[in-house]
Structure 1
Amino acid sequence: MAELLTLNLSRNMFSGEMPSSMSEMHSLNDLDVSFNNLSGRVPSSTQLQSFPPERFTGNVGLCGLPTAKKCLEDEDLGVPPVGDSEGDAESTDELQRWFYIGGATGFATGFWIACSALLLNRRLRHAFFHFHNCLKDWVYVKVLVFIARLQRVARA
């Protein structure tokens, strides 16, 4: 069974634990054991943990990755869930805080540089407002032409 590529055991009313030998099925591309009566921990292997959790649904007693249910042994040993360590959360919050501080500082700096350039440089200020007026007129004409076309189509 080590060379097996696809295994669909769904909706067969199997009960008991999944055999630990399933972790040795390295060629397995597709596995579905949903809607049985399986229990216990999903055998640990990179192959079995890579399947989506939907392939294990309907097995009330099944626990461990990739299912959403934690095993009692994990809680008794004090094993933290993956990605939920306290130091990791603090460093993520710190990184996110500095990201927002840096973004706000960069925005404020760029805004005031642009405003200062417009206030202090007369040629740039005139060119900017000329461009703004031309753009406004262009958008106004395009909107009117679009409305006129819609009205013509509605009449026809």
Structure 2
Amino acid sequence: MLQELDSLDLSRNQINGRIPNSLSQIDRISYLDLSENDLSGKIPIGTQLQSFGPSSYGGNPLLCGLPLLRTCTEEEKGPGQTVLVNQDDKDGLISQGFYISLGLGFAVGFWGVFGNSSIQQVMQIYILQFLDCFTDWLYVKAEIIRQRMPNTR
């Protein structure tokens, strides 16, 4: 429901406290006026809130952060605003996936280099023959696909 909000004028309403983080998630808002209230703390970072001029936040002496010239101290940032980690990734899958792939890549690379020398000679031959056949098969498949694609020259 808030996502469909087009304009918001809450000026001169004697509102106090922090600007809620949910307000920073509205991406279609074209007009915002929060001036002449008693708002405090850091303006939440979002797609739209920093695009409005300082006059939209005027008359709130305890408000800080962009687009205002007043920078925030650590106390003013408040809980949950001191560290921004993966703001686009709400469920943590990208950072978790990164570490999983990093671990798997290390394990495969390590065993590909050092594990190869510890395998018996016969097993090495079978593995290398399999990899040779697999790369040949992969090359043939890639060439077939390339031949089927229309020539774009």
Q: Shorter-normalised TM-score: what interval?
A: 0.3 to 0.5
TM-score scaled by length of structure 2? 0.47
TM-score scaled by length of structure 1? 0.46
Larger Rg: 1
